[in-house]
Amino acid sequence: MKILINIIISLSAFFIAYGIAYFTGSSIVINAILLAFIIHWVAFVPAYVFQTEKFYDLTGSMTYLSVVWITYTMSKNQYEMSIGSLILAILISIWAIRLGSFLFLRIHKDGEDKRFRTIKPSFSQFFMTWTLSGLWVSLCSMCALTAISNPSGIVLNIPTFIGLCLFIVGFTIEVIADYQKTVFRSDPGNKNKFIKSGLWSRSRHPNYFGEIILWFAIALISFSSLNGTQYLTLISPIFTYLLLVYVSGVRMLEARGDVKWGDNEEYIKYKKETPMLFFKT
């Protein structure tokens, strides 16, 4: 029964992404989405054979780079590409390289990602996980891919510049939050303790807050270049929020924290006084 459910979820993930790509009316976007899933399915094979998740996040980042630059290159060959499209491709690339390398180095330092302990042995569940990563890349990047692939490319206007500013804000928050937590965890004196300093004193998950802001910014940058059913791709920031808060990010970390420090009065006070996501003033 579990195998059937995993297969259904995998197929649903693919057809949801492919369906939205189809409604963009762009063969470039459709091919980019197919490529995103193919990369993850190919990477799944050695991951399952060697029972490792160490290049899972890195594969996601490499997929972002692949679909963005293939879309940009193919569009450039057909149309006179705008500077806005190049800027957006570079912004996504900077984010992907930074996050991918950060997560890759972290998992090699830690030795494993505990989320995968019970997932790796199951072929169908591990395959589903890799497929969902393809869905993540597809839905998050699709509004940007669609905007870049349109004849006019990224339109430079007020919403675009507001989006650029928001991206910088979100990216900066994410980088600082990750750096602060890395420094905190590197101190042996903080073993089995939770971080509540720096940005983490204003939000329990500032890194995810920054991530949500920057993907909202990418959607805003892309907005003016979309039309008709292409607006369906604006699901990107909504999907990012739901994924990080209710699926793979906040929910899992909150549950793990409650198990580890649920009886700690300091932690209980921290949870009560510090917003889960948005910054307190």
pLDDT score for 69: 94
Q: Which residues contact 159 (CB under 8 A, 6 or more apart)?
A: 220, 221, 223, 224
pLDDT score for 281: 59
pLDDT score for 102: 84
Instruction: Render pLDDT for 187-211 as a digit per residue (tens, 0 to 9).
Output: 888 888 888 889 988 898 999 999 9
pLDDT score for 147: 94
The reported pTM is 0.88
**Number of Cβ atoms within 10 Å of the Cβ of 27:** 12
pLDDT-flagged residues of the chain (< 70): 77-81, 110-114, 280-281
In whole angstroms, give the CA distance from residue 185 to residue 238. 31
pLDDT score for 43: 94
Which amino acid is residue 271, in one-letter code?
K
pLDDT score for 127: 92
Q: Are 156 and 82 in contact (CB under 8 A)?
A: yes
Residue from 128, 155, 138 nearest 30 by CA: 138
Find the distance separating the first CA and the last CA of the chain, reported in whole Å. 48
In whole angstroms, give the CA distance from residue 150 to residue 26. 8
Helices (H), the chain: 2-22, 27-49, 56-78, 83-110, 123-149, 158-186, 206-223, 235-242, 250-261, 265-273
